[in-house]
Amino acid sequence: MTFTAQGLAPVTNPLNSVLVEKKLINVDQKFFKLVCLAESLPRTEVVESGKNYWRGVCRSAIFRFPDDLEILKLDVRSYVDRSKGIIQIRSAARLGESDLGVNLRRVEYLFNQLEKI
């Protein structure tokens, strides 16, 4: 997957993928925690890990279908308070027209777990 200064690639099929963007305080810490949460997901393989970007492949339990999961911390220089920022999470199925909501639930789970920490 690719990203630009504006963010992650847009969703092309809303039936099998999702892109969620949130403005957060302590964005560096939240990015690190989201990456830790993503790496702890079952059947997840880390493909790329960097200071602002993380990418992994999550596989389904039974058929092992691959879904791409990406987390991006956007560089927002316009904020006066550098602790504030934007994080995007994109989760997309590689196969099929519909994922039955799996990718949306994955992203919601990550953000919900982040709020509990």
Question: Rounded distance, CA 112 to CA 19, Å?
Answer: 15
Would you state the pLDDT for residue 9?
94
Would you state the pLDDT for residue 83?
78
Q: Give mean pLDDT, residues 92-113.
A: 96
Domains in the chain, CATH or no CATH each:
16-116 (3.30.530.20)
Would you state the pLDDT for residue 77?
61
The label of the residue with tokens 């957060």 reads 24
CB 100 within 8 A of CB 74: no
Phi, psi of 70 (to 5 degrees): -130, 145
Express each pLDDT in 7-64 by its tens digit.
Answer: 999 999 999 999 999 999 999 999 999 999 999 999 999 999 999 999 999 999 999 9
